[in-house]
Amino acid sequence: MAFIDTENDQPSSNKPLDELEVEVAQDGAVVRVKALDPAWCEDRTYLPYAYPPGQAGDGGVDPGAKQDWLSTMGLYLEDLRWLLCLPQHRFWSNMVFKPECVETVLSFLQDAPPFYVLEEFPGDQDMRFLYQQVYHHVFLVVSRLATCRESQAEYMSLQTLGDLVYDNYLFTVPMMMDVCLLYGRTRRSQLHGIIGTVFSAQPNYQEDVRKSVGSVAKSMSYVEKQFAGAVSAEPVKLSSKGPRGDVSARELRDMVLHVLDLAATLSSFLDVCAPARRVFHQQMFCLRIVNLYENTLPEMYSRLEVLLNKEGAETLYADTRHKLDLARVELLAAFRHILAHPLHCALDAASKGGAATVKRHVDDYCSVLQECLSEKVFMRDYHSAHPVDVDLQLLASVSPDVEDKRHYLMESVLLSFDPPELKPPRPAPTALHLPALAENSDGFSAKHPAAKVTGDRLESLIAEVKDILPHLGDGFVQRCLEHYGHASEAVVNAVLEGALPPSLSSLDNAMPRIPPDLQLEVANGVVERSNVFDNDEFDIMTQDNVDTSRIHKGKRKSKHRDLSQMLNDKSALSEIRDRYIPLGYVDTDERLYDDEYDDTYDHLDVSIDEPGGEPDRRPLVVPRVLRPREEDSSGPEDRDDGDGEEEGGAPAERRDQFVENPEAVRARAEQQRQARFGRGRGRGQAAAPPPRDVVGGPKGQGQSKDVLHNRQKKTTNKSSRSNHNRKSGAQWKRSKAMVPS
């Protein structure tokens, strides 16, 4: 305004801001103006935060869009610096009476990229440097809004600060959640003091947090309804259960980002704002987190596999799955912050000596844990990330009543593991707090060699990695652990950042783990093999590199053409000749006759035939049955009786005793067949039975014995033929008057 001297305005006395008056010159006169007054507002145009331009196909940014964004954000940075340079009374007057000042700060808090999408920010160095400047100055403005005393002359009471920020909506619960999401991981200690000052200055924020619990629960219910994965308090039709069939890939990705933003915001806010933990615990918000984690997230994973795990969408699938894994980590962290409230209260009460208060908080902690024991998936992941036995041990140190429940709770928690863990696994660090590794990840295992890990310890390390990355196969995780010296943190960090070496990235992520066979070790250390082919050079279960050139598929072609060629092949004899020559089994002399041969058998009584003499031995005789017929010159006396002539003097046909003539066999069989079936009848027809007389002679003259026998046989066997009961049938018809008598 015209009466304000913007260069020489000074506070008139050392008073707080709400009581301070500033002397200014107006038309040559000095007037007093309140320190908080709309007159101190500057007529200035404030720019909102602008989204950075998108990256081109080559990863760069369009030069025109880049220059436009740099110019806009340069003006935005000048506005922030101008606000920070104002005196206290002018700064607060602009923030209270100039809504545009608050809106320009809120635009950055709402639209700035959080940590889980920060990698999508353009990689241009100028743009990143300017963004870091804006990021820093926005935090300074937020810090000044929570500062009561800036100097000895510029200060205000804590109550005045609370009234200003609460009545003028300078701090709201959503605004504090956005601040925690952006700065909770980089400036946690400073942000903890800012949020603590605001809640101390204005207790009404406690009620606002209580109301915000319903809004967060409503957002969770929206996600649950989309996938119908949670048990709602309202009745749900059976037809509406199950995954929605109309969820597209884009909608699924938006849902994953929504869940991740909700989980990360809630986790960051509860980590910084201690009063919010008590409110969320009183509202039993832990059960809502468990419900979403146990029922909805598995359904989202299954829909992700169906919609995005396809050829051509590998990058989108990997990015979406990575964000869904981060959402799991953040939900577990949020649950941990809420459940830690009764734990911290019990420890604080124990230091003050309140036994009843300690018991109440201990029972509160155990009751929440008991409500979650039935959710196996959640309890397995939560116990792996935040061991329950550590909390129970702390509670047992301040309350002896926990000892009775401790064993029951731990047994129930370990039942969530399949198979049950013998030892509780170490807490797996989240992907956001992993230690930084060297750039050359391939040299990690070489610089840090580790002993071979097997058994329960290896199972525990695999479980730690799969708690964060459940989509990986056990075999793939085992290979990664062996490469990184069995450091589960290094494996998780390398997978999340995509920094795996080529030897691991080329493997199948879902590769299962083949457990070692149950082998017995004897005293001398020799392992009994369960199969003769185990651990040989072609065992693909234990060998990574197998010489496939030595493996022949199909029928091997032999070098021999046929059987005779194979039998005539004497090459094998020449191969073993050199082996038996030193033993004296092979005659190497070219002469075929041995001079000492005649003396070999002199000590034996062996007669030697004289030249020209007749050998005294039986001549070679061919068996009679094998001789040809013309060679058989033996007389009748040498033949058997059966081979002699028949009684009629006709010579009997000579019978071959070795093989019977097939023609004679067939002729004899035909004669037997003709005798069986009779002459003149067709083949297969039985011979006609002999005639049987049943008529006999005239009546009264007596019948022969054969006739009587035939009549008796006919009477006995007449039931085996048809129409044997015509007489009785006719009598029955006449008795019924069916036929004329």
| Helix H or strand E encompassing 676 | helix 662-677
327 CB-near residues (< 8 Å, 6+ apart): 256, 259, 260, 263, 264, 297
Q: Name, in order, each residue with C-beta under 8 angstroms of 393's C-beta and a sequence gap of 6 or more.
A: 406
CA 446, 478, 422 angle in degrees (round to 5)? 115
Say if pTM beats, i.e. exceeds, 0.85. Answer: no
**What residue type is 502 in one-letter code?**
P
Q: Over 50: is that where the pLDDT of 526 sits?
A: no
* Closest alpha carbon to 409 in 374, 360, 385, 378: 374
More confident position, 158 or 27: 158
pLDDT at position 412 over 70 = yes
Percent of the chain residues past pLDDT 90, beyond the cut: 33
Distance between CA atoms of 551 and 555, rounded to whole angstroms? 12
User: Cα dihedral sign for 497, 501, 506, 509?
Assistant: negative
Q: Is the pLDDT of residue 10 over 80?
A: no
pLDDT for position 262? 95
Q: Which of 348-362, 470-484, 590-604 shows the lowest mean pLDDT across its residues?
A: 590-604
Contact between 395 and 365 under an 8 Å Cβ cutoff? The reply is: yes
Report all structural domains of the chain as residue ranges with CATH numbers, in order of start.
Answer: 44-200 (no CATH), 206-232+246-364 (no CATH), 441-505 (1.10.8.10)
Q: Are 387 and 393 in contact (CB under 8 A)?
A: no
Tens-place pLDDT, residues 660-707: 888 999 999 999 988 887 655 555 555 566 778 888 888 888 888 888
pLDDT in tens, 532-553: 666 677 777 667 677 777 777 7
DSSP letter for each residue of 332-359? HHHHHHHHHHHHHHHHHHHHHT-HHHHH
pLDDT, the chain, mean:
78
Q: Which helix (H) or strand (E) holds 413?
A: helix 402-414
For the stretch 250-268, pLDDT in tens is: 889 999 999 999 999 999 9
- Residue 527 is classified by DSSP as B
Q: What is the mean pLDDT of residues 299-328?
A: 87
Beta strands in 462-544 (DSSP E): none
CB of 385 within 8 A of CB of 332? yes
Instruction: Determine the pLDDT at residue 173.
Output: 95
Q: Which residues pair with 52 in a beta bridge?
A: none
Tens of pLDDT, residues 64-98: 899 999 999 999 999 999 999 999 889 999 999 99
Whole-number Å distance between alpha carbons of 475 and 472: 8
Closest CA to 398 of 346, 441, 440: 346
Residue 741 clears pLDDT 60, i.e. is over it: no
With cut-offs at 50, 70 and 90, classify the pLDDT of residue 530.
low
Residue 61 in contact with residue 123, Cβ under 8 Å?
no
Do residues 83 and 90 touch, judged by C-beta distance below 8 A? no
Across the range 596-600, mean pLDDT stands at 53
pLDDT in tens, 473-489: 888 888 888 888 888 87
> Residue 700's Cα: distance from chain center in Å?
108
- Give the CA dihedral 277, 282, 286, 291, nearest 10 degrees: -140
Give residue 309's pLDDT band: very low, low, confident or very high (50, 70, 90): confident
* Residue, of 587 and 272, whose pLDDT is higher: 272
Per-residue pLDDT tens over the stretch 629-664: 654 444 444 444 444 444 444 455 555 556 788 899
| CA–CA separation, 420 and 412 (whole Å) | 10
Altogether, the residues listed in the chain come to a count of: 741
Region 512-534: what's the mean pLDDT?
54
Q: Which residue would you say has higher pLDDT here, 460 or 628?
A: 460
pLDDT recorded at residue 31? 81
